[in-house]
Structure 1
Amino acid sequence: MTHTMQTAPEPAAAPATGGDAAPLEHRAAGCLVGAAVGDALGGPVEGWTPDQIAARHGGRVTGIVGPFHEDWRTARPIAPYHKGDGHVTDDTLMTHALVRVYEKVRDHLDAFDIADHLVPDLIGTPRWIPELEDEALPLQRIFLAEKWIVARLHYGHIDPREAGVGNIVNCGAAMYMAPVGIVNAGHPDRAYAEALDIAGAHQSSYGREAAGVFAAAVAAAFAPDATVASVIGHALRLAKDGTRAAIEAVCEAATLYTGYESALVPLRAAVAPFDTVGPDYRNPSLGARRPSRLHAIEELPIALGMLLACEGDFRRTVLGSVNYGRDCDSIATMSGAIAGALHGVAAVPAEWATEVARASRLDLHAPAAALATVTREIFARDRARRRAHERTFAALTEG
C-alpha cells in the first residue's frame, strides 16, 4: 500500500458551533461529533467480547486505544485496516456521505436520491480513509453489505425502492441514519418514514426497520424537553415486530442496572433471542442476517439499553457501548449520536473529539454545521408546503 498521509486535509482548528450558536446547531454537532467519537473508540475492539477486551487492555477501555493487534496490517480478520488510534470507520464515512447528499438535494431524501447522489459519491470521489492511511474511493473501504448499494443501483439498475431486497440483513443502513434524524429534528414520525424510504435502497427486513427507528430516536432527542425515557418511548412507539420486542427486552433489563459494568452481560442475554448472528460474533450462525419478522439487529437495542443504564451520560454511554464488544463501533456510533443530540456538543469530551479529528484528518464539526443549515431550509419548505395544503383543504371544505 502506498501511503500519502501528507496529502490528507487537516481538520479545522476550531469547532463550527460557537457560544452563540442556536440549540439546533449545538445538538447537530453533538449528534454527529458524538457519533464519530463513538465510532473511533469502538473500532479497535470490534468483534471481541468484554473479557477479551479487558484482557487485551488490562481492564475496561476508558478512551482512545490502539489496534487490538499491533501487526494490524496482516492480522486477521480485520487486516488491512488500521482500526484504533482515533481512526473513524465506515460508519462515519457513510454518515458524512449522507450529509453530502443532503447538501446537494437540500430537501427530504428518498431511495432515488441514494441512487442519484450517494452512489456517485462512493465511486467517483477519492477521500481520505483513516483506516487505510491514504486517499481512496469510499467504495474500497465500505463493507460488502454497503458495496451492495453500488452493485445493485449502479450496475444492476434495480428500482432503488427495492434494491435492498436480497442483501444480508445487518446494521449497515442504520449506522449512518443520524443525519435523517437531524433533518427531522423534533419529528420522529417523519424521520422514521424518511429513513425507511432511504434505507430501501440498501436493506430489507429488520435491518431497514432499525434504520427507521434509529433516525426516529435521534429526531426525538432534539425535542427541548427530551429525556432518555422519551427517546426510548418514541422508539418503542414506532418500532415493529422483532425490533420492538428486542428494544423492549433490552431496555427492561437495563432498568435494573446503574452504569455499564454490571449491565454488559445482562444486556447481551436480553438481546440474544432476537440476534441472528449468534454467540460467536466472528462465526455467524447458519441463520444469520436473513430476513425475519421475529428478529432484530443487535446494535440499536444495545445502544438504547446503554443509554438507559448510563442515564444518558455521554461518556459512560459510549464507554459502555465500546466495552460491550461485538459490533461495538456501530453500537457506540448510535449511542453517541443519541446522547450527543440529547445534550449538545458540550457533552462530548473535548479531548476525544479533538484527537479523533486530528487522527482521522477530518473536520468533525463542518458536516454538522452544513446539515443544520440544510435542516433550516427544509423546515422552511415544509412550512410552505403545509400552508399550501391548508389553503387547498380549506377551499375543499368551506362553502
Structure 2
Amino acid sequence: MSWLEDRAVAVIAGAAVGDALGGAVEGWMPEQIEERHGGRVTGIVGPWYPDWRAARPIAPYHKGDGHITDDTLMTRALVEVYAKRRAHLDAYAVAEDLVPLMIGEPRWIPELDSTALLLQRVFLAEKWIVARLHYGHVDPREAGVGNIVNCGAAMYVAPIGIANAGNPAGAYAEAIDVTGAHQSSYGREAAGVFAAMIAAAVAPGATLDDVVRAALDLSHDGTAEALRAVVEAFGGVSEPVSGDDAERDLARRVREVVSPFDSVGSEYRQMSMDARRPSRTKSIEELPVALAMVLTHGGDFRSSVLAAVNYGRDADSIAVMAGALCAALGGSAVVPAEWLDEIESASRMDVRETGRLMAAAAADILAADHCRARARSVFLSEWLDSADADA
C-alpha cells in the first residue's frame, strides 16, 4: 500500500470509527452516559433506548450497534464527487454533483435500517443544501448564508485535506469554497481549518505540532481564539491522560475552556437563544474539543477517540475529528481493526474501499498539482532572469 493510500484509508476509517462509537451517545452529557452504560464507554455499544424506533428525542434513528451516522454518509458522498471529477472541488461541484447524490441515489442508511435517499437521513442543516441549490437555484457560493451555524460542514470535509495533502493553506481555501454552498460564519470556518489540519497531518513525517501550527496559522475570529485557548491550556501536557477519574476531570476542564466560544450552551438539548447564529466571536464546539482530546492523549487513536465519545454532547462529530486526525498522523495501523470490522459489517459499508477510492482520486489531483507547480516554477525563474537582465 502506498503512503497516500495508507493515509487516505486511515483518515476515512478513523473518522468512521469515531462516528459509529460517538453516535450511540450523541446529545447526552458525560454523567448520563456513565449512568446509562454503567461506566465510561470503551467500545461499540447498543442504542440508548432499546426500542429505538419509538424513542424520543432520537427516533427514528438506530444509533449504536456499530452504525455510522450522516457524518460518514456525507463523507462517502464527497469522496464519490472527488472520484468522479478527479480534480479540486468548489461550491459548484456541490450543486452539480453532491446534491444529485443526496436526492437521486438510494443507498443503505444504517440508522434507518433500510435503503433510502441520503436526504432522508441528514439533519436540517444538510437538507438546506438541497433546498437552496436544487429548489432555490441560489448561487452555490452563497447558498450557505442563512443556514443554522453548526459543525455540519466540518464533519465531512476530511477528504478535502487528503486532496491537498501537505498543503494546509490549499485545503483551507478549497474547504472554504466548497462549504460556501452549505454553511457560513464559524461553521464554514471550522470546515476550512479542519481540512487544513488533515492536510498537515497526512504529510510524510508530520507531527502533532504541525497540525497545531496549521490550525493556528489559518484560523480566524472565534475559531482562532477557541483553538488558541485549547493549545494554551492543553498543549503542554507532558504525559497523556489516563484513568477514569483523570478522564472525567479532563472533560470538565475542556468544557470550561471551550464554553466561552460555544453558542449552544451548557445544556446541549436546551440551547441558548443565540445558539447557531452567525458570529465573529464564536466557534463550533466540536473542533477545539477534538483538538484538546488529541493533545491530551498524545495523538493516540484509541484513547483520544474514547475521550471524545465520553465527552458527550455532539460526540459523533467530535470523535470523527479526533479519529481522523490521529489516524492521519499514525496511519491505518492505528485504527483498531476489531472496531472497524464490526462497523463495516453493521453498517454494510466498505469503509476501507472508500479510503482507497479517495486515494486514487487524490493521486490524480496531486499529480496535476505537481505539473502546475513545475510550470509555475519555470515561469517565475524566467521572470526573475528577465527582471535581473532589465536591472
* TM-score, length basis structure 1: 0.93
Contact 1:274 1:295 in 2 (8 A): yes
Distance across 2 between alignment mates of 1:33 and 1:274: 30
Give the drift of 1:396: 4.5
Residue aligned with 2:170, SS: helix
Distance across 1 between alignment mates of 2:209 and 2:380: 36
Distance across 1 between alignment mates of 2:213 and 2:43: 30
Of residues 336, 340, 348, the one that matches 1:349 is 336
Name the counterpart of 2:195. 215
Residue aligned with 1:135, SS: strand
Matched, 1:147 2:134: no
Matches within 5 A, 1:1-399: 21-254=1-234, 255-256=236-237, 258-259=240-241, 260-399=247-386
Residue aligned with 2:263, SS: coil
Q: What residue identity is the alignment partner of 1:206?
A: Y
Give the drift of 1:397: 4.8
Q: RMSD across aligned C-alpha pairs, in angstroms?
A: 1.2
Distance across 2 between alignment mates of 1:185 and 1:49: 35
Cα deviation code 1:71-128 (max 9, x no counterpart): 2111111100000000000000000000000011100000000000000000000000
Give the drift of 1:394: 4.6
Distance across 2 between alignment mates of 1:44 and 1:379: 37
Q: What residue identity is the alignment partner of 1:311?
A: G
Contact 1:253 1:266 in 2 (8 A): no
Contact 2:103 2:118 in 1 (8 A): yes
Distance across 2 between alignment mates of 1:393 and 1:272: 47
Contact 1:274 1:296 in 2 (8 A): yes
Q: What residue identity is the alignment partner of 1:203?
A: Q
Cα deviation code 1:44-72 (max 9, x no counterpart): 10011111000000100000000111121
Cα deviation code 1:279-305 (max 9, x no counterpart): 111111110000011000000000000
Give the drift of 1:383: 1.7
Distance across 1 between alignment mates of 2:250 and 2:216: 20
Contact 2:208 2:299 in 1 (8 A): yes
Cα deviation code 1:5-57 (max 9, x no counterpart): xxxxxxxxxxxxxxxx1221111111100100000000010011111000000
Residue aligned with 1:160, SS: coil
Q: What residue identity is the alignment partner of 1:215?
A: A
Distance across 2 between alignment mates of 1:273 and 1:284: 14
Contact 1:277 1:284 in 2 (8 A): yes
Distance across 2 between alignment mates of 1:263 and 1:88: 26
Contact 1:47 1:281 in 2 (8 A): yes
Distance across 1 between alignment mates of 2:39 and 2:374: 57
> Comparing 384-393 with 125-134, which one deviates more in the overlay?
384-393
Q: Which runs of 5+ in 1 are unaligned?
A: 1-20
Q: What residue identity is the alignment partner of 1:339?
A: C
Q: How many residues are matched?
A: 379
Distance across 1 between alignment mates of 2:372 and 2:4: 22
Residue aligned with 2:24, SS: helix
Q: What residue identity is the alignment partner of 1:94?
A: M
Give the drift of 1:185: 0.9
Give the drift of 1:395: 5.0
**% identical equivalent positions:** 61
**Which consecutive aligned stretches of 4+ in structure 1 deviate over 6 angstroms post-superposition?**
none
Q: What residue identity is the alignment partner of 2:316?
A: D
Give the drift of 1:188: 0.7
Give the drift of 1:179: 0.1
Contact 2:4 2:363 in 1 (8 A): no
Residue aligned with 2:115, SS: strand
Cα deviation code 1:236-288 (max 9, x no counterpart): 11110100111111232224573244311000111000000001111111100
Contact 1:31 1:341 in 2 (8 A): yes
Residue aligned with 1:342, SS: helix
Distance across 2 between alignment mates of 1:398 and 1:158: 47
Distance across 2 between alignment mates of 1:212 and 1:33: 21
Q: What residue identity is the alignment partner of 1:258?
A: P
Distance across 2 between alignment mates of 1:49 and 1:101: 36
Give the drift of 1:367: 1.1
Distance across 1 between alignment mates of 2:263 and 2:92: 30
Distance across 2 between alignment mates of 1:223 and 1:27: 9
> Comparing 247-256 with 100-109, which one deviates more in the overlay?
247-256
Distance across 2 between alignment mates of 1:46 and 1:311: 24
